Homo-oligomer: A and B are copies of this chain.
Amino acid sequence: MSDQIDTRTSWLSPELLAQARASVPMVYVDAIPVRVDSHGRVTKVGLLLRVAADGSISRMLVSGRVLYGERVRDALIRHLEKDLGPLALPRIPANPAPFTIAEYFPDPDVSGFTDPRHHAVSLVYVVPVDGECQPTQEALDLAWFSPKEAASPKIAADMTGGQDRLLRLALGHVGELP
Protein backbone atom coordinates (compact mmCIF):
# COMPACT_ATOMS: atom_id res chain seq x y z
CA MET A 1 0.00 0.00 0.00
CA SER A 2 2.87 2.33 -0.83
CA ASP A 3 2.59 5.39 -3.03
CA GLN A 4 6.30 5.61 -3.67
CA ILE A 5 5.99 4.42 -7.21
CA ASP A 6 3.00 6.64 -7.81
CA THR A 7 4.69 9.90 -6.84
CA ARG A 8 7.49 8.94 -9.21
CA THR A 9 5.04 9.99 -11.90
CA SER A 10 4.76 13.68 -12.42
CA TRP A 11 0.99 13.45 -12.23
CA LEU A 12 0.53 14.40 -8.60
CA SER A 13 2.55 16.25 -5.98
CA PRO A 14 2.47 14.98 -2.39
CA GLU A 15 0.49 18.11 -1.47
CA LEU A 16 -2.17 17.55 -4.09
CA LEU A 17 -2.41 13.88 -3.16
CA ALA A 18 -2.84 14.78 0.50
CA GLN A 19 -5.54 17.28 -0.43
CA ALA A 20 -7.39 14.78 -2.63
CA ARG A 21 -7.13 12.18 0.14
CA ALA A 22 -8.95 14.47 2.52
CA SER A 23 -11.63 15.33 -0.04
CA VAL A 24 -12.76 12.25 -1.94
CA PRO A 25 -12.50 8.47 -1.60
CA MET A 26 -9.45 6.99 -3.28
CA VAL A 27 -9.82 4.19 -5.85
CA TYR A 28 -7.74 1.17 -4.82
CA VAL A 29 -7.17 -2.38 -5.97
CA ASP A 30 -6.43 -5.35 -3.72
CA ALA A 31 -5.15 -8.60 -5.20
CA ILE A 32 -4.86 -11.97 -3.55
CA PRO A 33 -2.12 -13.81 -5.48
CA VAL A 34 -2.74 -17.55 -5.70
CA ARG A 35 -1.23 -20.68 -7.20
CA VAL A 36 -3.74 -22.88 -9.01
CA ASP A 37 -3.50 -26.46 -10.26
CA SER A 38 -4.27 -27.54 -13.83
CA HIS A 39 -8.00 -27.61 -13.01
CA GLY A 40 -8.06 -24.04 -11.66
CA ARG A 41 -8.29 -25.09 -8.03
CA VAL A 42 -6.43 -22.78 -5.63
CA THR A 43 -3.60 -24.65 -3.90
CA LYS A 44 -1.60 -21.79 -2.34
CA VAL A 45 -2.18 -18.20 -1.32
CA GLY A 46 0.67 -15.67 -1.36
CA LEU A 47 1.10 -13.13 1.42
CA LEU A 48 3.66 -10.36 1.62
CA LEU A 49 5.48 -9.43 4.80
CA ARG A 50 5.89 -5.69 5.03
CA VAL A 51 5.45 -2.50 6.98
CA ALA A 52 1.75 -1.70 6.96
CA ALA A 53 0.18 1.76 6.78
CA ASP A 54 -0.25 1.63 10.55
CA GLY A 55 3.48 0.99 11.10
CA SER A 56 3.25 -2.67 12.09
CA ILE A 57 5.12 -5.46 10.34
CA SER A 58 2.26 -7.46 8.87
CA ARG A 59 1.34 -10.12 6.36
CA MET A 60 -0.36 -8.24 3.56
CA LEU A 61 -2.21 -8.54 0.30
CA VAL A 62 -1.04 -6.77 -2.83
CA SER A 63 -2.73 -3.41 -2.63
CA GLY A 64 -2.40 0.03 -4.14
CA ARG A 65 -3.89 3.09 -5.68
CA VAL A 66 -5.38 3.47 -9.17
CA LEU A 67 -3.78 6.53 -10.75
CA TYR A 68 -5.51 9.32 -12.63
CA GLY A 69 -5.87 8.11 -16.22
CA GLU A 70 -4.96 4.50 -15.42
CA ARG A 71 -7.13 1.48 -16.27
CA VAL A 72 -7.96 -0.84 -13.39
CA ARG A 73 -6.33 -3.79 -15.19
CA ASP A 74 -3.16 -1.76 -15.63
CA ALA A 75 -3.13 -0.81 -11.94
CA LEU A 76 -3.51 -4.47 -10.98
CA ILE A 77 -0.59 -5.52 -13.17
CA ARG A 78 1.54 -2.61 -11.93
CA HIS A 79 1.00 -3.38 -8.25
CA LEU A 80 1.42 -7.15 -8.72
CA GLU A 81 4.71 -6.64 -10.58
CA LYS A 82 5.84 -4.06 -8.05
CA ASP A 83 5.28 -6.49 -5.17
CA LEU A 84 5.96 -9.90 -6.74
CA GLY A 85 8.58 -8.98 -9.31
CA PRO A 86 8.53 -8.74 -13.11
CA LEU A 87 8.49 -12.53 -13.62
CA ALA A 88 5.34 -13.29 -11.61
CA LEU A 89 3.12 -13.62 -14.72
CA PRO A 90 -0.17 -12.61 -13.08
CA ARG A 91 -3.34 -13.84 -14.80
CA ILE A 92 -5.86 -11.03 -14.41
CA PRO A 93 -9.40 -12.48 -14.66
CA ALA A 94 -11.27 -11.86 -17.92
CA ASN A 95 -14.27 -10.54 -15.96
CA PRO A 96 -13.54 -6.90 -15.00
CA ALA A 97 -15.80 -6.99 -11.92
CA PRO A 98 -14.09 -7.43 -8.55
CA PHE A 99 -15.32 -10.43 -6.56
CA THR A 100 -15.94 -8.09 -3.62
CA ILE A 101 -15.18 -4.54 -2.57
CA ALA A 102 -13.40 -3.36 0.56
CA GLU A 103 -14.21 0.05 1.93
CA TYR A 104 -11.27 1.30 4.00
CA PHE A 105 -11.82 4.09 6.53
CA PRO A 106 -9.59 5.67 9.19
CA ASP A 107 -12.33 4.82 11.71
CA PRO A 108 -12.32 1.05 12.44
CA ASP A 109 -16.01 1.04 13.33
CA VAL A 110 -17.37 1.91 9.90
CA SER A 111 -16.69 -1.23 7.86
CA GLY A 112 -14.01 -3.20 9.66
CA PHE A 113 -11.48 -2.32 6.92
CA THR A 114 -9.15 0.41 8.09
CA ASP A 115 -6.50 2.66 6.64
CA PRO A 116 -5.21 5.50 8.79
CA ARG A 117 -4.45 7.63 5.72
CA HIS A 118 -7.80 7.91 3.95
CA HIS A 119 -11.15 6.60 2.80
CA ALA A 120 -10.50 4.16 -0.04
CA VAL A 121 -12.85 1.98 -2.07
CA SER A 122 -10.90 -1.05 -3.15
CA LEU A 123 -11.78 -3.44 -5.96
CA VAL A 124 -10.65 -6.88 -4.85
CA TYR A 125 -9.49 -9.67 -7.19
CA VAL A 126 -8.10 -13.18 -6.83
CA VAL A 127 -5.21 -13.39 -9.27
CA PRO A 128 -3.50 -16.66 -10.22
CA VAL A 129 0.23 -16.15 -10.78
CA ASP A 130 2.13 -18.64 -12.88
CA GLY A 131 5.69 -17.36 -12.78
CA GLU A 132 8.52 -16.90 -10.35
CA CYS A 133 7.72 -14.51 -7.53
CA GLN A 134 10.22 -12.60 -5.47
CA PRO A 135 9.31 -9.83 -3.10
CA THR A 136 10.53 -6.50 -4.32
CA GLN A 137 10.76 -2.96 -3.07
CA GLU A 138 9.52 -2.62 0.48
CA ALA A 139 8.34 -6.20 0.97
CA LEU A 140 10.54 -8.13 3.41
CA ASP A 141 9.24 -11.52 2.36
CA LEU A 142 6.65 -13.40 0.34
CA ALA A 143 5.31 -16.71 1.63
CA TRP A 144 2.83 -19.21 0.25
CA PHE A 145 0.20 -20.85 2.44
CA SER A 146 -2.37 -23.58 1.89
CA PRO A 147 -5.98 -22.32 1.96
CA LYS A 148 -6.36 -23.96 5.39
CA GLU A 149 -3.31 -22.18 6.81
CA ALA A 150 -4.35 -18.90 5.20
CA ALA A 151 -7.75 -19.09 6.94
CA SER A 152 -6.22 -19.89 10.35
CA PRO A 153 -6.28 -17.57 13.38
CA LYS A 154 -2.47 -17.72 13.40
CA ILE A 155 -2.24 -15.96 10.03
CA ALA A 156 -5.11 -13.61 10.94
CA ALA A 157 -3.12 -12.46 13.97
CA ASP A 158 -0.31 -11.33 11.66
CA MET A 159 -2.57 -9.21 9.48
CA THR A 160 -3.94 -5.73 9.97
CA GLY A 161 -6.61 -3.35 8.71
CA GLY A 162 -9.13 -6.14 8.20
CA GLN A 163 -7.09 -7.80 5.44
CA ASP A 164 -7.39 -11.17 7.21
CA ARG A 165 -11.13 -10.94 6.65
CA LEU A 166 -10.59 -9.97 3.02
CA LEU A 167 -8.38 -13.04 2.66
CA ARG A 168 -11.14 -15.27 4.02
CA LEU A 169 -13.66 -13.69 1.64
CA ALA A 170 -11.27 -14.56 -1.20
CA LEU A 171 -10.99 -18.15 0.00
CA GLY A 172 -14.78 -18.34 0.11
CA HIS A 173 -15.04 -16.93 -3.40
CA VAL A 174 -12.85 -19.72 -4.80
CA GLY A 175 -14.65 -22.35 -2.70
CA GLU A 176 -11.60 -23.08 -0.53
CA LEU A 177 -12.71 -21.68 2.80
CA PRO A 178 -12.42 -24.53 5.33
Kindly state whether residue A73 has any CB partner on chain B within 8 Å: yes
Closest to A17 in B: B23
Interface positions, chain A 86-108, Cβ under 8 Å from B, are 91-101, 103, 105
In the complex this chain forms, how many copies of it are found? 4
Measured in the bound complex, the distance between the Cα atoms of B105 and A24 in whole Å is 17
**CB of A123 closer than 8 Å to a CB of B:** yes
At the interface with chain B, which of A31-39, A53-61, A134-142? Answer: A31-39
Contact A73 B169 (CB under 8 A): no
Write out the residue numbers on chain B whose beta carbons fall within 8 Å of the beta carbon of A72.
101, 103, 121
| A4-20 interface code vs B (CB 8 A; 1 in, 0 out) | 00000001100011011
Total chain A interface residues with beta-carbon distance under 8 A: 61
Task: Decide if A126 is an interface residue (CB 8 Å cutoff).
Answer: yes
* Chain B residues with CB under 8 A of A128: 91, 94
Q: Is the CB of B99 within 8 A of A98?
A: no
- Interface residue A79 (Cβ < 8 Å from any Cβ of B): no
Interface residues of A in 109-128 (CB under 8 A from B): 110-111, 119, 121, 123, 126, 128
The 4 closest A-B pairs by CB, nearest first: A172-B172, A40-B92, A39-B73, A94-B174
Q: Which residues of A contact B (CB under 8 A)?
A: 11-12, 16-17, 19-20, 22-27, 34, 36, 38-42, 65-74, 76-77, 91-101, 103, 105, 110-111, 119, 121, 123, 126, 128, 165, 168-169, 171-175, 177-178
